[in-house]
Structure 1
Amino acid sequence: MLNRRDLFVLGAAAGIALSPVAYAQSSFPDRPIRIVVPYASGSGTDNTARHFSQRVAMATGWTVIVDNKPGGNAFIGINDVLRSPADGYTLLYTGGSTHGVNSALFKKLPYDPLRDFVPVAPALFSPMVLLASPSLNVKTAAELVDLIRKNPGKYSAATGSPFQQLAVNLLRQQGKLDFQDVQYKGSGQSMTDLLGGHVDFTMVDGAAAMPQVHGGKLKALAVTSKRRVAAFPSTPTMAEAGLPDIQLNGWAGLFAKTGTPEPVLGKIREVFNAYFQSAEYKQFLDANAGFYEDLSPAQMMDFIRSEIARAQSTFQRAGIEPQ
């Protein structure tokens, strides 16, 4: 007898909706489910949300809509979810910046990442990738670190997001390195200046690194995941490269507003987790420098607490005061 995950995979592969009988335990959902992405259309977070929401809709017959609400450090999208009823029809897709780094950068957030939201399911993890300007002519991460150590204060790191700030500050602190920071409004501009030799190195998420690395314009020197990733099979981990064993992954997951009924949460979790654990989704993540880890809601909450604590201690040691 096929279990529900088998039915899900068969339905997704055929591109058809499953029979409504499979979801007859309750009337949920009887209208569209909206997934709020607090970032612009075309971003990596947005692309992933559109991918899995479409596959879930195809397999279940549910109507799932991705609604981009960018701006204000993601506060606009988050507040949109908080103003919506806690009924499971409005979900939030976000990750390491809003539910980790922001707690270290702002004295007072207009939301509480631990109290205002409950985890539905983690969707992806992606390592940060260490990249150096071609003008430095370094071939390994060890060569880059050696260059920085021999010339304290001379070289500069580009950061285009709070998560990149966290990554380069962990490298600075754990590697006992002295370099400058150059901040940009986004990773795109920082990558342009890296290619142009205006900054010397950066640490950026895998999806943003892929076009330049696979196009031969930049060399990936190391990844911050525990293991190598399929998108960069020849790139060593930080530990393999002889650097401080920095394990830092960008991540994103689905959240519901606190107070959402548990039966509704259970149904949403079952359906989305079935796709997140499918072979098709693994292929998607492999092609986009990501990977999946099966975390329970309790494990996800513990993970978020640890992300917040690490960001706060890292920025405090770096002398970066919350705004």
Structure 2
Amino acid sequence: METTKRRLLLALAGMAVARPGLAQGQAGAALPAFPTRPIRIVVPFTPGSGADNSARYFGERLATQWGQAVVVENRPGANGIIALQAVKHAPADGYTLLLASNSPMAVNPLVIKDLGYDPVKDYKPLSGLARSMNAIVVANDSPLATLEALLAAAKAGPLTVGTYSAGYHLAAAWLAQLAGCTFSNVPYKGQAPIMTDVIGRQIDFAQVDLGGAMPLLKAGKLRALAVSGETRNPDLPGVPTVREKGFDEYVQYSWTSFYVHAQTPAEVAGKLAAALQKTLATEESRAFVRKTGGELMPYPPEQMQRFLLEEIARFRKIAAIANIRPE
């Protein structure tokens, strides 16, 4: 009996040696080494966009944590579909991250047929990042000096509005429906070319990320007619909210968050999520997001997943109000 017991103990010890990673994981000790090579962050928008700037800023902080390079890869086009499909088809090893926004994750499924990806099933949330108001902007010398003037002009004839994602397009269409007017959407791949065309008055106005527009607003090249937040932005106290102008239900924020392939091992996803939470908890990160006109949204994975489902449901109601159907 003693010999049998001794053999069993030796066998169990041998299993622990043969599978140290498993033994350590069960005991709550060190996880497998990760990362051991560079990581890339895929961004669905052009360089210079708010999402791109955030990817580069937080990528640098993650690189410092890990001692590995973090490379930002811009894959704009097709309302974010190109980028999301690239991540879907990448190896599920944690070395490809996605920095996505509300447009490809919560709006595309409602307005675009045959996406080629499922935002809920194909990706695993790592962390929320930030949210920011939309800004309705015109050239500084535009005759449309107020939101009331813009909406009145749109009732007389369609105005052209520049947007660079399905989320902004839907938000503009929602406002037009509530105001009883018409906007003609002009799609762009990123915010920078929209700003150029607004300043040059090639389009009448734009609905864009406030953070991305802030430098031009402060430089006096653009004028903000309204913002889409619950309250006014503290950096633009003289700019009203849309809801102040009689549209009580009109509140809209654009948000960003990090994801990986849904099949990424839990241990790897957990390490990525922990690194992001550590980075977002710093005063430096809070100051960066505040400087861009936004606020941190550091939701952990489970909360981010719940938030995504809530946003899909919210945008579904907005699409119905704006009479927008999948095309």
- Give TM class, smaller chain: 0.7 to 0.9
Tell me the amino acid that sits aligned with residue 290 of structure 1: G
Greater mean alpha carbon deviation, residues 24-33 or residues 236-245: 236-245
Query: How far has the Cα of 1:129 moved from its partner?
Result: 0.6
Summarize the Cα distance change of 1:180–1:82 in structure 2 as closer, same or farther, 3 Å threshold: closer
Summarize the Cα distance change of 1:183–1:57 in structure 2 as closer, same or farther, 3 Å threshold: same
Greater mean alpha carbon deviation, residues 109-118 or residues 34-43: 34-43
Conservation of the 8 A alpha-carbon contact between 1:157 and 1:168: no
From 122, 127, 132, the counterpart of 1:126: 132
Conservation of the 8 A alpha-carbon contact between 2:129 and 2:299: no
Greater mean alpha carbon deviation, residues 247-256 or residues 301-310: 301-310
Tell me the amino acid that sits aligned with residue 88 of structure 2: L
From 302, 310, 314, the counterpart of 2:318: 314
Conservation of the 8 A alpha-carbon contact between 1:164 and 1:203: yes
Partner of 1:266: 270
Tell me the amino acid that sits aligned with residue 257 of structure 1: H
Summarize the Cα distance change of 1:52–1:231 in structure 2 as closer, same or farther, 3 Å threshold: farther
Q: Structure 1 CA distance, aligned partners of 2:92 and 2:129? A: 21
What do residues 15-55 of structure 1 show as CA deviations (whole Å, max 9, x unaligned)?
xxxxxxxx954312222222222333333322210111101
Q: Percent identity?
A: 34
Partner of 1:205: 209
Conservation of the 8 A alpha-carbon contact between 2:50 and 2:209: no
Greater mean alpha carbon deviation, residues 56-65 or residues 160-169: 56-65
Query: How far has the Cα of 1:280 moved from its partner?
Result: 0.6
Greater mean alpha carbon deviation, residues 265-274 or residues 182-191: 182-191
Tell me the amino acid that sits aligned with residue 111 of structure 1: Y
SS in 2 for 1:251: strand
Alignment map for 1:267-286 (pairs within 5 Å): 267-286=271-290
Partner of 2:95: 89
Query: How far has the Cα of 1:108 moved from its partner?
Result: 1.5
Q: Structure 2 CA distance, aligned partners of 1:244 and 1:268? A: 39
Query: How far has the Cα of 1:114 moved from its partner?
Result: 0.5
Partner of 2:53: 47
Query: How far has the Cα of 1:154 moved from its partner?
Result: 2.5
Conservation of the 8 A alpha-carbon contact between 1:231 and 1:287: no
Tell me the amino acid that sits aligned with residue 99 of structure 1: M
Q: Structure 1 CA distance, aligned partners of 2:310 and 2:220? A: 36
Tell me the amino acid that sits aligned with residue 108 of structure 1: D
Partner of 1:183: 186
Alignment map for 1:98-137 (pairs within 5 Å): 98-133=104-139, 134-137=141-144
Greater mean alpha carbon deviation, residues 81-90 or residues 59-68: 59-68
Partner of 1:76: 82
Alignment map for 1:32-43 (pairs within 5 Å): 32-43=38-49
* TM-score normalised per structure 1: 0.80
Conservation of the 8 A alpha-carbon contact between 1:101 and 1:308: yes
RMSD (CA atoms): 2.6
Partner of 1:5: none
Structure 2 unaligned blocks of 5 or more: 1-28
Q: Structure 2 CA distance, aligned partners of 1:190 and 1:25? A: 45
Tell me the amino acid that sits aligned with residue 123 of structure 1: L
Summarize the Cα distance change of 1:319–1:180 in structure 2 as closer, same or farther, 3 Å threshold: same
Query: How far has the Cα of 1:205 moved from its partner?
Result: 1.0
Q: Structure 1 CA distance, aligned partners of 2:197 and 2:40? A: 37
Partner of 2:222: 218
Query: How far has the Cα of 1:302 moved from its partner?
Result: 2.6
The structure having more radius of gyration, on CA atoms, is: 2
* TM-score normalised per structure 2: 0.79
Tell me the amino acid that sits aligned with residue 74 of structure 1: G
Tell me if 1:195 matches 2:169.
no
Summarize the Cα distance change of 1:234–1:34 in structure 2 as closer, same or farther, 3 Å threshold: same
Summarize the Cα distance change of 1:317–1:247 in structure 2 as closer, same or farther, 3 Å threshold: closer
Tell me the amino acid that sits aligned with residue 156 of structure 1: L
From 253, 258, 275, the counterpart of 2:257: 253
Tell me if 1:168 matches 2:172.
yes
Summarize the Cα distance change of 1:159–1:310 in structure 2 as closer, same or farther, 3 Å threshold: farther
Tell me the amino acid that sits aligned with residue 87 of structure 2: V
Conservation of the 8 A alpha-carbon contact between 2:49 and 2:212: no
